Amino acid sequence: MLQMRVTSILLVGLCLLGASCVGVNKSGSLRAKVTGQWEVSIAGIPMPNQSFIIDIREVDNAIVFDILQDQSIGELDIKEMRLTEKDNRLSANLYIGEFVKLIIWEEEGVVKGEIQIPMIGDLPLILKRLKE
């Protein structure tokens, strides 16, 4: 009887440990998928050269990004802008002449994004991973 109780407690403990590990991997999976350099284009903006390059990485357990090449949105100096992780989405509020919100997520194995501009609305981002 005591041996069954100990075995049951060990099995429940292992199940809880496994469930907590799955939760940790699940929350970290978006970070792993977006880390790296990306060419980003804003769909719906009629500009001749509308792409820029961002570098997403982890710094001190936070996920941040830099804009490395900026040909379409003027002279911006964005370094180590922190992305907030909530509901399996990453977001950041930026000021580029007006406040905008950048949102990045993963859907069916594809990294997607959008930029929310108050005067224009939501514009989808086209994200293309650069080879490292």
> 91: Cβ–Cβ under 8 A, 6 or more apart, which residues?
83, 84, 101, 102, 103, 104
**Tokens read off for 131:** 């080879």
Domains of the chain, start order: 3-129 (2.40.128)
Backbone angles phi, psi at 93, to 5 degrees: -100, 125
pLDDT the model gives residue 131: 79
pTM: 0.70
Query: What is the rounded CA–CA span in Å between residue 90 and residue 125?
Result: 14
| pLDDT tens-digit readout, 79-114 | 889 999 999 999 999 887 889 999 999 999 899 999
| pLDDT tens-digit readout, 52-66 | 889 999 999 899 999
